Chain A
């Protein structure tokens, strides 16, 4: 190989926490590629799924990533996120599959009753894409520190033929011996970042100089306040009486559907500043900026049971 950079010093044969997390995630990617017939990587364009891309790239280098990338297009994705996605996909030379919520509505796969959030419609769209393409394992960027239903989820998370998660009936997961057995029609969700925290992800992005969508960094944006959240103004959201658009200096802590993902006021314009900000943050990233988790204390558990990411 061409590059012979100095290896990291390991005086006592200990890895740093990031190197150990990386080694664990790479092990998971390779295990899935070896044991599953048709894996796919679910790519949202968010920092976690971009981290997954980098880890997958490392796991198989110098070969290409041996599975395609699946993105659910809500129709309300941030343009910055789509362009970042395209840049990653073209650099790595992986196949991109886009499952469109609009197309799923047109095909009658999911029903838009005008009340259901786009986020929930994503679940049906996603499950349909997995079934149609016959994927047997789908990598997701979920982390156990995000939410307490996730704190109990396995790295290999079994889904029945309806795509449902049964939290009371999870397989025990011991050592690093993952059980990938599934029956016809079932699939496995794989969470290589299970043991990463939000801070670990940011440290890793800094260490690896990973390219992210610009909306993660501070910028000025037209926003308005709804239900205590700062939402991006634009054609995708109609203002309700009393809501006014203001220009603020903001950044996004998570990336999702534009109609649901709030931003926070921030001057953090690089990774180091974001890490400082998170280190003193007092609210979890989902609590601060995700309307979809706010309905009830069990909101995430319910959506996960249905087959959400």
Chain B
């Protein structure tokens, strides 16, 4: 059994909560007491139906306001896969939540209401998933029962979305007609849509091929922590602990350590009591080198012929996440892999309209929930790859030094 992380986007009106409720109910991830609590609340509010949205609206303020204000993580499993859903709100002001949910997702699920067709919101969701390089996208055309399961309606939404998607980076697109309320094509193939030859939503989620999504060629190992037991038994042990960010590393491999430029050979790769023969993403391991080098947190172990280019001038797409705008000349802290430093904002090149993909070159700042292309100068060289090649070595966060709050998320071009 493996793990698939997916992000959902859409609003209550699209039936997103109903769909998630159905996935959780049908996979028995919701328990009686949780369902009872939701039924009680629905009754107290005077609804004549069980509002499944209440299952995911976890904070009191959200229940009071009837809107989801934050990313909620939900879990369910089928016999073949465990799923982690990052459930993000759909409103325009919550771009930052969608970016957050998409950052770790293998797959993005966008919902549209078959009666409405594509909306500005569904386009925006697809744009964000594409910017975050989520490799698989599923467009679920919901409420098919309300359009008499019409093939024409589905085809027209499918054509419109496919043509829009050509402007984006979406390596794998699947479009499924469903009725979350009645369960059509959610778990079982629908009898109401014989014209649809594709898989049910769950079948697709269970079988979508994600093994090729990671970069298994370009070895990248950001050193996280140096393990030095200094005990009698392991007197000379010196291991570099971290998580493989790319490629496959094996004992005997020649390696290059950045930024020092020293070379060595991998003497062994440890995982607890076991010596392992191959380490690949996203494994957490401890690497021992044949030579006694000065390697510390923030360094990067890679291969001599295949190394990231150290750079202090960073060109990136940045999603801004706080009220006070991002402006040129601003100074911020940055965290990239296991490296931390400071940055100076050199320029805001353009602001991207995530609804139309229009580039606004006039505005030289980014407000809350806005995304734009930004030039940064860093105090330390970043050992980075383009985000499109590696989502781990190509991403960073920006932190306000006064408050300590995370204010920006960046994807290196």
Interface set of A (CB-CB < 8 Å, partner B): 1-5, 7, 10, 12-17, 19-24, 26-27, 30-31, 33-34, 57-64, 144-145, 147-152, 158, 167-168, 170-177, 179, 181-183, 194-195, 197, 199-200, 281-284, 287-288, 297-298, 301
Contact = CB atoms under 8 A, between A and B. Distances in A.
B96 interface: yes
Contacts of A158: 404
A21 B31 contact: no
B59 interface: yes
B291 to A, nearest CB: 19
A224 B354 CA distance: 60
A249 B271 CA distance: 40
B405 interface: yes
B395 A283 contact: no
B221 interface: no
A34 B284 contact: no
Contacts of B1: 16-17
B229 A64 contact: yes
Contact of A174 (B31, B338, B409): B409
B10 interface: no
Interface in B253-294: 268, 270-278, 280, 282-284, 286
B99 interface: yes
Interface residues of B, number: 83
B72 A175 contact: no
A172 B100 contact: yes
Contacts of A151: 56, 58, 72-74
A194 to B, nearest CB: 7
A271 to B, nearest CB: 17
Interface-central residue, A148, A167, A173, by most chain B CB under 10 Å = A148
A168 B409 CA distance: 19
B59 A17 contact: no
A170 B70 contact: yes
Nearest to A298: B60
8 contacts: A13-B216, A62-B234, A62-B237, A148-B58, A172-B96, A174-B406, A195-B75, A283-B31
Contacts of A200: 82
A182 B399 CA distance: 11
A14 B404 contact: no
A284 B397 contact: no
Interface-central residue, B225, B228, B233, by most chain A CB under 10 Å = B225
B241 A30 contact: yes
Contacts of B270: 1, 61
B389 interface: no
Contacts of B77: 197, 199
B406 A179 contact: yes
A297 B63 CA distance: 11
Interface of B: 1-3, 31-34, 37, 41, 55-61, 63, 69-75, 77, 81-82, 84, 96-97, 99-100, 103-104, 210-211, 214, 216, 224-225, 227-231, 233-234, 237, 241-243, 248, 268, 270-278, 280, 282-284, 286, 297, 321, 333, 335-336, 338, 391-392, 395-397, 399, 404-406, 409
Tell me whether chain B's interface is mostly helix, strand or loop, or mixed: mixed
Contacts of B248: 13
Given A1-B275, A4-B275, A13-B216, A283 B404 contact: no
Contacts of B58: 147-152, 301
A173 B406 CA distance: 8
B241 to A, nearest CB: 5
Contacts of A176: 104, 243, 392
A176 B282 CA distance: 11
A63 B321 contact: no
7 nearest A-B pairs in the assembled complex, by CB-CB distance: A148-B58, A287-B33, A181-B404, A63-B229, A26-B284, A174-B103, A17-B3
Given A5-B273, A19-B283, A62-B237, 12 more contacts: A4-B275, A5-B274, A7-B277, A34-B338, A145-B75, A151-B72, A158-B404, A174-B104, A282-B32, A284-B33, A297-B37, A298-B60
A188 to B, nearest CB: 10
Given A62-B227, A174-B103, A152 B70 contact: yes
A61 B3 CA distance: 26
Nearest to A149: B58
A50 B3 CA distance: 23
A177 B2 contact: no
B240 to A, nearest CB: 11
A62 to B, nearest CB: 5
Given A144-B73, A167-B59, A34 B224 contact: yes
Nearest to B32: A282
